[in-house]
Amino acid sequence: MGSEEGYHARYRLANFHLLNGDPAKSIQVSTPLLASPDLPVSMVIETHAYHGWALAKLGRFDEGRQHLRRGLELAAARPLDRTYVLLAMADLERTYGDPAAAAKQLRKCLASSLAFSDLHTAVWAVWLTAAITQEAGDQGSPELAGLALACRQITELPPWPLSETDFSAWEKSHSRVAAETTPQDRHDLLLAAVEVSQRRLAQWEESRER
């Protein structure tokens, strides 16, 4: 795997396994990439995100944090590359059981993804926000779950970082909300979902500080 084509193939495969719920295979594929001296900086950053995220999904939180923090360090002057790492960090904190820390990372991720029109990451951040606020018993979670469900329907993205089980539950409980409260235009829907997510996270954090 010395060629640029080989790097890109392995890079895409690491992401594929991660998004399709096989973190062990993602780690196996991404490990050689981290030792590759000729990897472009943007690819190094996201490889740290894939690797750290996969480790966290396997319960290896300290190792996962190390890789995600390294990704954030490398992306300090590259805000576009930082967006995906922030999403991975948010999910790590949620999985670890620290919703407050996850919310802080999600607010940064949503703002960054909106600023750079990274709509895929924005959608995944909306899904995570819906899950976190629902788990916390936030009163605005039905609206957000409806928007998350509508975003899934219109983008047809893999359910990562959630699962099909999460979306099946939302389908049963919030499909009417999704139909009644979401814009029909794809772009308007995604913007509305991000804006509601940002607002709910801010309100939830404020309520925790009282």
Number of residues written out for the chain: 210
Q: Which ranges of 20-118 does DSSP label H, i.e. alpha helix?
A: 23-34, 41-57, 61-74, 79-96, 99-115
What percentage of the chain reaches a pLDDT higher than 70? 90
Q: Does the pLDDT at position 52 exceed 80?
A: yes
- Whether omega before 161 lies within 30 degrees of 0, making that bond cis, reads yes
Closest CA to 89 of 111, 114, 106, 76: 106
Cα–Cα distances in angstroms (integers) from residue 60 to residues 3, 7, 25, 92, in the given order:
31, 25, 15, 10
pTM: 0.87
Q: Are the C-beta atoms of 193 and 151 separated by less than 8 Å? A: yes
Q: What is the pLDDT of residues 122-156, one digit of tens each?
A: 999 999 999 988 887 766 678 888 888 888 888 88
Q: Are the C-beta atoms of 91 and 102 separated by less than 8 Å? A: yes
Segment 43-55 shows an average pLDDT of 91
Cα–Cα distances in angstroms (integers) from residue 179 to residues 58, 143, 183, 185, in the given order:
36, 11, 9, 13
